[in-house]
Amino acid sequence: MDIKEIKELLELIQASGIEEFEMEKSGVRLHIRNAPKQPLPTPVLTSAQTQAVAAEAQDISTPVEKKEDESLFVFRAPIVGTFYITPKPDAEPFVQIGDKVGKSTVLCIIEAMKIFNQIESDIAGEIEEILVENGQPVEFGEALFKIRLP
């Protein structure tokens, strides 16, 4: 199985709502378990709390609405695993803030099931922000980098 197949499989499983999936192909065993989504509890305020919140709200001025910068692209994790910004612990990072990247530039490595997968950029731009720490576990679809488009 290659990264593209795993990514497509993960997307299909997420979209279908399947809670658990297991598969073995060519000696590679894949086990995926989705946690069921639970709604957040709705807070209940007493009348005294409601008055306190209303009083605080009067003191706070309306914040300026921040618009999302349309020239920033958020690069997301294509697979679940452990994020590494360097090929080896003592090596230079693949990319740093301010680096120009093109299509197929290696951004990082994500280790999944003892396999180190090089993750390549699918757009050209400049690294604006690195959103995860080296060695941090990442989920499928988690934001990894912000890339400023040319």
Convert the pLDDT of each residue in 32-61 to its tens digit. 776 655 555 655 555 555 555 555 555 444
Asked whether 143 and 136 are in contact (CB, 8 A), the reply is: no
Q: Which of 100, 126, 106, 130 is nearest to 118 (CA)?
A: 106
Q: Judge if 24 and 92 occupy the same domain.
A: no
pTM greater than 0.85 (yes/no): no
Is there a single domain that holds both residue 29 and residue 76?
A: no
Residue 12 sits in which domain range? 3-33
CATH of the domain at 89: 2.40.50.100
Q: Which tens digit of pLDDT belongs to each residue from 118-131?
A: 999 989 999 999 99
On the CB side of 89, how many CA atoms lie within 13 Å of its CA?
Answer: 1
Q: Give the model's pLDDT for residue 63.
A: 43
| Residue 20 shares a structural domain with residue 86 | no
| Residue 11, in any domain of the structure | yes
- Whether residue 136 lies inside any domain: the answer is yes
Phi-psi region of 144 (alpha: psi -120 to 50; beta: other; left: phi over 0): alpha
